[in-house]
Structure 1
């Protein structure tokens, strides 16, 4: 009885709200088709006819439906339809909303207790129409003066207010918080009370978002290379040289779908390579680890293995000294801001320019905190080849050093500490292992070369007396070491040819000084704020809607939290990002995985081609360009022009970089042109609690 009542009520409900909502009215008028909703045995059901905007229905089973929604039983049908807000229960939706359970719908689908049969486009249209019953009354944006509407958006440069008039962005500004937002935190240190301002900050590239949206280089429609014929001559040698012609979406989608099916059929497992940027536009749906991975998992693909960009030296080097791989080998940030302001006497910025690099998506949130440190009289030292923006602004002692020679200087500092007993002997004896071997190397007992300040001078260009003075001051003061832009690792000298050694040296120096004692830690006040960490919101590395069990943190973070359908890549073939040219030109390469789950995973060498897999015949490029981050980038040009790469599809926002080497180009939207949600600076996964760089947690 209840199931029949819900089915009957669906028609008048749709008609009622279509009269109030142009969105719902347009959906109903958009397609002509017949939907059958029924129980599996056919004993009960109702059909619905969408015809030129008119909706009619009748009891029973229709002879020729276009879409069939079939439930195992009436009880399953009631559960699913109620939790989709359908039928007569929509009238009581405001009261029912706290009890609606989307997990129930997902679980019934996982158990195959209901199914939807029919043309994909029509089935999607019908489910969109049902969902519109719940969303048609939603209104986005806040009306402001001059006919403008203000929206909120999350960019990878920080959250923004977006002011729109007549469908065009007028301006973009950082957020200003009001009394309805959460109260800020405060810290008392050395007789002063510090509270961050009631607004967000924004990276310069975030402020430039309007220019990016309306750039002359925007791709606005599908394009095909003029001398590429999927049914004839493909002319791969002309990639990067030929022009393009505009084509329709129907033609573009047909070419892409036919090529994917052909390549899988002719060449088999792993013939399609996914290539993408390291980072992407923001959002838990639009980010490349979300919907893109879900699509790729559905077709099976060769995975491009990213070098742990931004973490290189920390991941490959420092993690072996820490003995763990969370945060890719960088330091834990908890409590650092309060501890530094209360206890630290000196901060050493080593290859660290947070006023330029903005931490990890954190904009200028740490700027005010570094101002506080200066107010408190904390001594500041900057070791960098350049007098960078942070050094120029904050002042203090600048020690210029030849690029890539940081390990030698670190060894010399350790030599002073060992010979003058300026290190924490209790900590070293009770909290570390391997010090005797390290000591023997530093003192020259292993190779006959003591690593003195005089020894390092020729390599680093830093005078011996400067290094000795720094070592003595550091060894007698509670000191924060800030390696890299984030201050806890990440960026900086870890990207140089000696980056792994430099990162390892940073860990060894802090271990000698008693890492974790009051006032002794990693950090430059970019990370470690006392924001509320006792509620969870998924970050981009948690996989969004991908359901991916291997390449995201979804199985760790979301499996028990979020209703989603699992997906997986059936291909195990991998290619390192920086060795794509070798794979395509030479037909073979090898690499090591970026595996944040375990130290030992770093040593699991893999080879291309993998046993039982095809060589790469198609590349699906999803945003970004590797030309700026690939050594000898002409290798990549040559790789694109190889005969064996039969098809290249590029999905991009702008006509630049690798887009000009594609056979087929799909235009992509920015984060300002789609509905999405994400938390500021929250990477999730391998960057656990990354948002504690911020003065305020912001979800937009």
Structure 2
């Protein structure tokens, strides 16, 4: 690699492909990728981020931990910077001490998988492979994005939720051809479909919405913000946390007016007879009518009835955003949306039924032959303990305590060492002040990280990791039809090493070097994994170039596209429910689940119900009268690139949206600095006043890096200082980020 000559090459990322201009060993410019019809602006900040002063320059060990294993100073201690060999020796000795003294069940392997679109240098796969080689670790189930849905939906449809999302749902082409009414609970947000796991190259969703408009399709965005769907969609404002109540009211209209498809319910579902008395108020004296729902949702009965009639008389697709299950009782809107779709009788029809996560990431809605990606084998984990991913603070604070999860009674393990690679929990976890207290409990925390993120600042041992632009890799997503050679664009910054080199060094010291590497360096692993991709391509009749050809070409578009690829599971089930049953206990869509009912969970009974969250507009108080929603940011992916974005004039603190009347009552104008607070903490934000948000609701995007411990107010505006760290229910134990009340005052 010539470090001095000016070069332009293409690489891939979770927000798509782009051209990178390098000169003198630095990234100096990024440019859009020509085939992308709607390239995101995110890569513009990349040169500043990769070369930012917040890069971890060399191995760093917290001085107080090294001297006395002190834990109290995490987040405000200073570091020593030993040579790599010494730092690896210390980390290996600590890993060995913990596993020999407490067992591998005392090690938690944390990672979130978004560190790189490259398939070999995938931090989650690297750290889990390493920990399995040394005897295993406590793992996590699900994701912050969809953990609740991953628990509830297999009970309803019998499919893994990710399979349901990526392999069963209709494509945008099918929707354009068949759907007459698109009902979007939580919207389909344009900023979200700019990113996707493993990368999304052609950002086409906005174009599809233009096509929807041309067909005359009615597109209804139901939620607290007009901006949650593309321009031109009808907006039905609805209070956050009340979607299940609105769905019940729509269902009540269908049943009351004889619009329910009972033939479909009888043939394809089970449990309608158990659910109907609740819906009609026969068992509790409270019919779930539009009049019942109006004070909960803020939606008039007239609008509910009109929408229900339209849904029953047109080809209707109900879509449900991932955000709806990131709230207390998040299982209920997902389960109720399936019930409502079943009552319409359109599940399994092209462009009808229900779909989950359209617009959550860019790959959903694309249609092509699947050939899979490239995955570094992680091996077998001998440690049986697995926690729901959003319960990490509970685990650290309550070792040995019992908890319920999806029908099982479990005990939290006693974690003595946390190894985190490829993630920043002090961005995406809830109630960050509580997480900081939990973070003081383990004896040792080790982190691989390119930047001094809030998580790295709270670690005892920090290894400087390369970014995807400082190493070679292959970019490939199962949700995309492009294949990229991701060349090493610049030398490693400072003393950074890739995760594979770090774990290889630790593995050697722990006597499992050959087990971890299998004798391969990164180039040999890439060639090995790529050969498997070529074999799968040949088996599917797809021309995949050789690795040398891909290196020479930089990128190729694979011939994966199809004309309206059939979605076999629900199509086959509708055609022959006896011969092609679902994988539920009944073989049908479960409106009532005997299995869930047997768990005896009052917060998730045997059929969908309305359960008011602890914190939502219906429980607002004088001290906390506003409901906080915390959507994903539009200028980055999670908290990546935040170091450089925070340097942009006026970009921090983060912007909070307030309704005009809420702002006027508080004497707040657009541009004012405000304090957003509740009993859990306080953050600073910059106000933007708008009419495009429901009164009583404020929206503050995630992603800002939270400051150090002991601050009275987070200066950057991270909403997770304010959110509740409670599970969605005993069934799902997902995050309840969107169930939070706050107050806002002018600074």
Whether TM-score is above 0.5 comes out as yes
Q: Residue 346 of structure 1: CA displacement? A: 1.6
Question: Does residue 649 of the first structure (1) align with residue 446 of the second (2)?
Answer: yes
Contact 2:142 2:150 in 1 (8 A): no
- Distance between the aligned counterparts of 1:373 and 1:333, measured in 2? 21
Match of 1:660 in 2: 457
Contact 1:270 1:300 in 2 (8 A): no
Which range moved further: 617-626 or 309-318? 309-318
Cα 1:252–1:201, aligned 2, differ >3 Å: closer, same or farther? farther
Contact 1:157 1:204 in 2 (8 A): no
Total equivalences in the alignment: 478
- Distance between the aligned counterparts of 2:248 and 2:268, measured in 1? 20
Deviation track 1:215-274 (CA, whole Å, cap 9, x = no partner) reads 221112111212232xx4222111112112322112211111121222223333423221
Q: Residue 465 of structure 1: CA displacement? A: 0.8
SS at match of 2:226: coil
Contact 2:221 2:228 in 1 (8 A): no
Match of 2:399 in 1: 587
Match of 2:157 in 1: 322
| Unmatched segments (≥5 aa) in structure 2 | 482-536, 538-555, 561-747
Q: Residue 667 of structure 1: CA displacement? A: 0.7
Question: Does residue 445 of the first structure (1) align with residue 445 of the second (2)?
Answer: no
Deviation track 1:360-417 (CA, whole Å, cap 9, x = no partner) reads 44473211111111122211111011111525x1x23211111100001000001111
Contact 2:363 2:479 in 1 (8 A): no
TM-score (norm 2): 0.59
Q: Residue 457 of structure 1: CA displacement? A: 0.5
Q: Residue 140 of structure 1: CA displacement? A: 10
Contact 1:273 1:304 in 2 (8 A): yes
SS at match of 1:669: coil
Q: Residue 420 of structure 1: CA displacement? A: 1.3
Equivalent runs, 1:180-219 vs 2, <5 Å: 198-199=35-36, 201-219=38-56
Contact 1:653 1:669 in 2 (8 A): yes
Match of 1:53 in 2: none
- Distance between the aligned counterparts of 2:242 and 2:184, measured in 1? 15
Q: Which structure exhibits the higher relative contact order, with contacts defined as CA atoms closer than 8 Å and separated by 6 or more residues?
A: 2
- Distance between the aligned counterparts of 1:697 and 1:314, measured in 2? 31
Q: Which has the larger radius of gyration?
A: 1
Match of 2:187 in 1: 352
Deviation track 1:613-634 (CA, whole Å, cap 9, x = no partner) reads xx32222121322223333322
Contact 1:272 1:617 in 2 (8 A): yes
SS at match of 1:169: strand
Contact 1:156 1:681 in 2 (8 A): no
**Correspondent of 1:503 among 329, 334, 345:** 334
**Correspondent of 2:31 among 152, 173, 176:** 173
Contact 2:338 2:354 in 1 (8 A): no
SS at match of 2:470: coil
Cα 1:201–1:696, aligned 2, differ >3 Å: closer, same or farther? farther
Match of 1:367 in 2: 206
Contact 1:575 1:589 in 2 (8 A): no
SS at match of 1:672: helix
Contact 2:98 2:104 in 1 (8 A): no
**Correspondent of 1:639 among 433, 438, 446:** 438
- Distance between the aligned counterparts of 1:528 and 1:658, measured in 2? 31
Which range moved further: 275-284 or 448-457? 275-284
Deviation track 1:45-86 (CA, whole Å, cap 9, x = no partner) reads xxxxxxxxxxxxxxxxxxxxxxxxxxxxxxxxxxxxxxxxxx
RMSD over aligned Cα atoms: 3.0
**Correspondent of 1:341 among 150, 172, 176:** 176
Contact 1:158 1:681 in 2 (8 A): no
Equivalent runs, 1:267-346 vs 2, <5 Å: 267-277=102-112, 279-327=114-162, 330=165, 332-333=167-168, 335-346=170-181
Cα 1:347–1:527, aligned 2, differ >3 Å: closer, same or farther? farther
**Correspondent of 1:617 among 416, 438, 441:** 416
SS at match of 1:238: coil
Q: Residue 608 of structure 1: CA displacement? A: 2.9
Cα 1:372–1:322, aligned 2, differ >3 Å: closer, same or farther? same
- Distance between the aligned counterparts of 1:672 and 1:316, measured in 2? 36
- Distance between the aligned counterparts of 2:462 and 2:223, measured in 1? 42
Cα 1:569–1:365, aligned 2, differ >3 Å: closer, same or farther? same
Question: Does residue 669 of the first structure (1) align with residue 466 of the second (2)?
Answer: yes
Cα 1:681–1:166, aligned 2, differ >3 Å: closer, same or farther? farther
Match of 1:66 in 2: none
Cα 1:528–1:571, aligned 2, differ >3 Å: closer, same or farther? closer
- Distance between the aligned counterparts of 1:426 and 1:360, measured in 2? 39
Q: Residue 307 of structure 1: CA displacement? A: 4.0
Contact 1:343 1:519 in 2 (8 A): yes
Question: Does residue 492 of the first structure (1) align with residue 328 of the second (2)?
Answer: no
Match of 2:98 in 1: 263
**Correspondent of 2:384 among 572, 577, 584:** 572
Contact 2:56 2:452 in 1 (8 A): yes
Q: Residue 470 of structure 1: CA displacement? A: 1.0
- Distance between the aligned counterparts of 2:443 and 2:215, measured in 1? 63
Q: Residue 683 of structure 1: CA displacement? A: 9.7
Match of 2:219 in 1: 380
Equivalent runs, 1:107-118 vs 2, <5 Å: none
Match of 1:480 in 2: 317
Q: Residue 463 of structure 1: CA displacement? A: 1.0
Match of 1:516 in 2: 348
Q: Residue 157 of structure 1: CA displacement? A: 1.1
Q: Residue 697 of structure 1: CA displacement? A: 5.6
TM-score (norm 1): 0.63
- Distance between the aligned counterparts of 1:621 and 1:444, measured in 2? 50
